[in-house]
Amino acid sequence: MDDKLSNYQEFIEHFIDLVWSYIPNIIAAIIIAVVGRLAIRFINRIVRKFFERKDYDLTLEGFLQSFINIVLHVTLVVLVVTQLGVKTSSLIAMLGAAGLAIGLALQGSLANFAGGVLILLFKPFKVGDWISAQGVDGSVKEISIFSTKLNTFGNQIAIIPNGQLANGNIINYNAEPIRRENYKVGIGYGADIKKAKAILLDICAEDDRILKEPMPEVYVDSLGDSAVNLTLRFWAPNDVFWPARFDLIEKSKLLFDQAGIEIPFPQRVVHTIEEAD
């Protein structure tokens, strides 16, 4: 009984000595963690101000800021763990094994990181561009390491993983300085086609936002069930495209009404046949 008690006391004393021997390392690790967090915030603030003063690509700025922040946090974790007494060689082996396990578990995140790098290198779009991707239309607000934020027409934020963006179809409406619109309008079968075409071309000629070269064109697109369908093709700069389009639609309706040109709505004509007695 005395031997067991003596062994128990020795174990307690050894444990206390071990704790006391690690207390300085634990305190130092806590100090490193706190100071490191403050240092990371300070460095991130400096990096942010540096990019604000320099005229760099906004896409590159957001990506690099995210990357620097992650690298700083990983470095801080390594310093804290090393201070706790874990040998560097053992830590590297642990990180390698953990990296392999995490890589297998987070294949999607790695694909998103690779997608972010591809977006940064090939630049299919940049911050400020209006794009359509993965069923979402919006203005690119931010491109980070793993995802891209779009500000939609309704002022919602859509977050799309970079892996899907890099491997999916993307329509960039700002890639070219001008864009073309195919405006379709139907007129009645009894209306004057040449007069309707002249009205549409006159609207384009009077609107300074619509380019005169390439020249606007009007075609008879098809003969529908209740209307002759016309297509007006015109070009306009991206920054004034939508106002020009909306005004053209309104003016075409008003001028067609003044000219007596009907824009028919879908209708069905029913003929009844009376059988003779």
Q: What is the pLDDT of residues 228-243, one digit of tens each?
A: 999 999 999 999 999 9
Are 164 and 182 part of one and the same domain?
no
pLDDT at 40 over 90: no
CA-nearest of 169, 168, 135 to 150 is 135
Give me the mean pLDDT over the 68-73 stretch. 80
d(CA 265, CA 248): 20
Please check whether residue 111 lies inside any domain of the structure.
no
Q: Looking at the predicted structure, is the pLDDT value of residue 102 above 80?
A: no
The total of structural domains in the chain comes to 3
**CATH code where residue 221 lies:** 3.30.70.100
Whether residue 127 is found in the same domain as residue 194: no
Check whether residue 182 and residue 124 sit in a common domain: no
Whats the size of the chain, residue-wise?
277
Computed over every residue of the chain, the mean pLDDT equals 81
Where is pLDDT greater, at 37 or 64? 37
Give residues with Cβ within 8 angstroms of 98, minimum separation 6.
Answer: none
Cα distance between residue 160 and residue 40, in whole Å: 27
Q: What whole-number distance in Å separates Cα of residue 263 and Cα of residue 256? A: 8
Which pLDDT band holds residue 104 (cuts at 50, 70, 90)?
Answer: very low
Q: Does one domain contain both 121 and 209?
A: no
177 has a pLDDT exceeding 60: yes
Does the residue 233 lie in any domain? yes
The pLDDT of residue 11 is 60
Quick one: which of 41, 107, 36 has its CA closest to 78? Answer: 36
Confidence check: pLDDT of 168 > 50: yes
Instruction: Give me the half-sphere count of Cα atoms (radius 13 Å) on the Cβ side of residue 143.
Output: 29
Domain residues for the domain of 95 are 2-105
For 50-55, what is the mean pLDDT?
Answer: 68
Asked if residue 122 and residue 101 are part of one domain, the reply reads no
- Among residues 33, 47, 46, the alpha carbon closest in space to that of 75 is found at 33
Same domain, 96 and 14: yes
Q: 61 and 124, same structural domain? A: no
We report the CATH number of the domain holding residue 59 as 1.10.287.1260
Whether residue 157 is found in the same domain as residue 99: no
Lowest mean pLDDT of 6-15, 180-189, 217-226, name the range. 6-15
Q: Which residue has the higher pLDDT, 269 or 43?
A: 43
Higher-pLDDT residue of 222 and 54 is 222
225 and 137 belong to one structural domain: no
Same domain, 55 and 121: no
Give the tens place of pLDDT for each residue, 125-137.
888 899 999 889 9
Task: Give a yes or no: residue 242 inside a domain.
Answer: yes
Structure tokens at 248: 């053209």
Q: Which H helix or E strand runs over 179?
A: strand 178-187
- For residue 277, being part of any structural domain is answered with no
Whether residues 185 and 231 share a domain: the answer is yes
